[in-house]
Structure formats: structure tokens, C-alpha cells
Structure 1
């Protein structure tokens, strides 16, 4: 994990994103225990409350589950949830923007599809 302490993005969001990325890339597998709040805060010199806030976002999203007295674990189906979320973000952030720009350039749907095929 790497954190940018000079970023305008809050550290707790960076914690959540880093763990989510590890779930996405299967660094942390479903059912597997992830580093504890204490471990992350100690290893990266981050306030434990900040780390916990990030972890709680993942719990709320159903990606991580807390097992009292044992630790935090990647929830079943978490990887597919991350993929689904990223696909939707890709559509919203990239595809919609691409179509809008194509329309401004008067590129037809057929032409756009050909450009995409060419790029693949």
C-alpha cells in the first residue's frame, strides 16, 4: 500500500481504495483475512481512527466483513462487486465522455465502432 499524504484526497479514502484495489487484483482473496487496522496504522504511521473509517466504508459496501475478535476478512462476492462497480464507473467516466466527443466531431455510431475495433 502507498499513501499520498500531500494529496487533497483524505487518507481514509485512500485506505479504502488501496484495499479495494487489492481485492480487485486478487491480492486479497475472498474469505481471506486482510491486515488489521492496527497493522495498517502502525506500518504506515496513520491514525487508527483514520484507517478504521476507511475500513468501515468497505464494510458498508459489503466488500469486507468484521469478525469480532478475529479480524477483517474479504467478503464472499467482493471481487465481482468491485468489477461491477468499476465497469459502471468506466461507462460513466469514459464511454459517456467518448460518445459525447464523437457526437461533437460528427462521428457516426458505425464509425465510432470501427475506431474502437481498430484500437482493440
Structure 2
């Protein structure tokens, strides 16, 4: 992951989203210790408080849990929590944007559904 400090999205959100993606990809597994705020700060050359803010978001969502004196760990329900959140927010926003763009380009609902089906069938081999 490359943290982008261009102002489009706060760095702490980028950190949280990157960790979510790592959990979804199973690069970080349930009950596995997560990077500390200091490790993240060093990895991405950011302030430890910024990294901590990203970790806190995930802890507040029950994606991560704290073990006093040991650090933060991935919750056993983390993947399900992230999937529910992303389906409810991210995917909904993408679909809304896609439908709006299709209307602007005069693409019919049937054409759009056809495009989605084609993209889905091409993506099965990935």
C-alpha cells in the first residue's frame, strides 16, 4: 500500500482501509497480532497518532481488539464485519455512481446489466 497525502482521503482512513483489505485477503488472519501504531508510522513515514487513529477506527468497529500490554489483534468476526460494511457502503456508492454515469451516457438498464454480467464472467478466472 502507498499512503497518499494528496488530501483526497485522510491518511488514517487509508491505513484502516488497507488493513481491512489485508484481512479480507487473509494476509492477516483472525487472532493474529496487527501492526502497532509505531510500526505503521515507520512503514509509511507518518505520525504515530495518525496511525493510531486508523487502528482506533477498526477497534471501534470490533474488527480489532486490544490485549492489554500485548497490542491489537484481529477479531474472529473481522472479515464478516468488513464485508457487511463494504457491501453496505462502498458497493452501494459504486453502484449509485455507475447508474448515474450510465444515465448520463444514455446506457439502458439492459445494456448496463449486460456489461455487469460480462465483467462478472470475465472476472471468474481471477
Task: Tell me the TM-score normalised to structure 1 length.
Answer: 0.79
- Larger of the two Rg values belongs to structure: 1
What value does the CA root-mean-square deviation take over the aligned residues?
2.3
**How do 1:105-116 residues align onto structure 2 when only pairs under 5 Å count?**
105=106, 107=108, 112-116=112-116
Gap runs ≥5 in structure 2: 122-126
Query: Higher relative CO (CA 8 A, sep ≥ 6), structure 1 or 2?
Result: 1
Instruction: Report the alpha carbon displacement of residue 113 of structure 1 after superposing the two structures with TM.
Output: 4.0
Task: State how many pairs are aligned.
Answer: 118
Q: Which residue is 2:124 aligned to?
A: none
Q: Which residue is 2:80 aligned to?
A: 80
Gap runs ≥5 in structure 1: none
**Does residue 64 in structure 1 map to residue 64 in structure 2?**
yes
Deviations 1:50-109 (A, max 9, x none): 1111110111111111111011100111111111222223542233344455567473x5
Task: Tell me the TM-score normalised to structure 2 length.
Answer: 0.76
